[in-house]
Amino acid sequence: MEVADARIERPTDVLVRITSANICGSDLHMYEGRTDFEPGRSFGHENLGQVVEVGHGVDKIRVDDWVVLPFNIACGHCKNCERQLTNYCLTAQPEPDLAGAAYGFADMGPYGGGQAELLRVPWGDFNCLRLGDDAEERQTDYVMLADIFPTGYHATEMAGVQPGDQTVIYGAGPVGLMAALAATIRGASKVMIVDRHPDRLRLAESIGAIAIDDSLVDPVQAVLDETMGLGADNGCECVGYQAHDPSGHEQPNLTMNRLVASVRFTGRIGNVGVFVPEDPGAGDELLPLDQAPEAYEHFDRRDDGWTKVVLHPTMAGTSA
């Protein structure tokens, strides 16, 4: 399916030439048909690039600025935005029974995603985060600010991680790894992370976390053993409803129940894993970037080394 290029539609819009766009684990839900996504829109809510055009109502952002785009689209002036609840913007979501919008995401407004050459950014002054002079050469780092690092950090914020805490993270995917890093930054004395993919567990160990392979041990007991039988002070759920046991049997509540059992009675839990009430089972069309289908296949299979995928739509011959 041919998808039209993004363009300026309103005076407050900004048009960005995308140079880096991550594939998110949430994109896999749509890729697998596990959340509904209509044909004719592109995926991609973790985006970075260079501004190529601005609407005449834009005051701050300039052509040639390098920007990263936080995944939630917000107007900046509704009741929720004024209370810093921009993930539930009332203006950006056209459905009156819903709140919150995002680029290229099921049930979060009609907006196109950034796994494309161009991206329209509504309310550009509010939604574009300008980057410094090193943005082009460090874009693979900065694009993580669009979603996974702040999401991982937010999990530790909800869990109330403080200096000296013992913290357990369920899931060593990109968000789980960022949650583990955030817990370390916040001063946790011991960070444990549960997964079963060797490459992801190796990455967890590289940032100082204790890797727990739930295909080899009971992860709850392993956490209890690491905490003198008391359980962790707090923990984060970074897997969501597609959790499954080592044999491949899907159990949507598996990691949540294990997390509850791993955290002591007075502990706190931060949940950023995606949970939905049902699977619509609809198939999805892929945006035909040259290597995107192959990247989705590797990412979906959790192949060794495919921990996070960045697409570079306008950089010919480049893939990551």
Q: Mean pLDDT across the stretch 264-285?
A: 73
List, for residues 96-143, the tens digit of each pLDDT value: 888 899 999 888 889 999 999 999 999 999 999 999 999 999 999 999
Hey, what are 100's tokens? 């919150």
pTM of the model: 0.83
- The answer to whether residue 285 scores a pLDDT higher than 70 is no
Q: What is the mean pLDDT of residues 2-22?
A: 94
State mean pLDDT over 224-231.
97
Tokens coding 302? 């959790």
CA distance 280 to 262: 32
pLDDT, average across residues 37-62: 93
Cβ proximity of 270 and 156 under 8 Å: yes
Order of strands, sheet of 232-237, starting from the edge strand that comes earlier in the sequence? 210-213, 190-195, 166-170, 232-237, 263-271
Residue 320 has pLDDT above 70, yes or no: no
Task: Give the residue from 41, 52, 66, 206 showing the smallest Cα distance to 143.
Answer: 66
Q: Do the bridges between strand 66-69 and strand 129-130 make them parallel or antiparallel, or are there none, so unpaired?
A: antiparallel
Pairwise CA distance, residues 204 & 174, whole Å: 10
User: 239-253 pLDDT, tens per residue?
Assistant: 988 888 888 888 888
pLDDT digit string, tens, across residues 160-196: 999 999 999 999 999 999 999 999 999 999 999 999 9
Rounded-to-10 torsion of CA 92, 98, 101, 107? -130
Q: Which residue, 125, 100, 96, 126, is CA-closest to 111?
A: 100
CB neighbourhood size of 2 (10 A): 5
pLDDT above 70: percentage of residues in the chain: 94
